[in-house]
Amino acid sequence: MRALFTEDAVYRFHPWEDGASGHDSIIAAWLEGADSPGSWTFERGGLAADGELHFVEGVTRYPQDEHDYANLWVVHLTPDGRASSFTEWYMTLPRDAA
């Protein structure tokens, strides 16, 4: 995980919140909301970049739930390829819309 993020990185699970700042806070937040292994899949869609700003589009599927999630990740990457900022945007998709 430390190889993915800068020491002062900010990870926002929702765009309107302050998010988790720094390696230890990001790790703690991930572990607090961790999904069980094998309980989901992710299908990457489009990728785009403008300088250090990158965008990833995809769909997260939870087979045991009645909804899937459309995802947009907004990521600022440093020249060494680590994220200094990561913001998740997601919306619930009805199962028949994904």
Owning domain of residue 72 = 5-97
pLDDT along the chain (98 residues), means of 10: 94 95 94 90 94 97 88 97 97 77
pLDDT at 98: 52
Determine the Cα–Cα distance for residues 23 and 19; give it in Å rounded to an integer: 12
Which pLDDT value is given to residue 9? 98
Closest listed residue to residue 65, CA positions, set 97, 91, 94: 94
Q: With CA atoms as reference, report the closest residue to 42 among 71, 21, 6, 82.
A: 71
Number of domains in the chain: 1
Q: Residue 10: give its domain's CATH number.
A: 3.10.450.50
Can you give the pLDDT at residue 82? 97
CA dist 51 → 48, 54, 57, 76, 93 (Å): 10, 8, 17, 9, 31
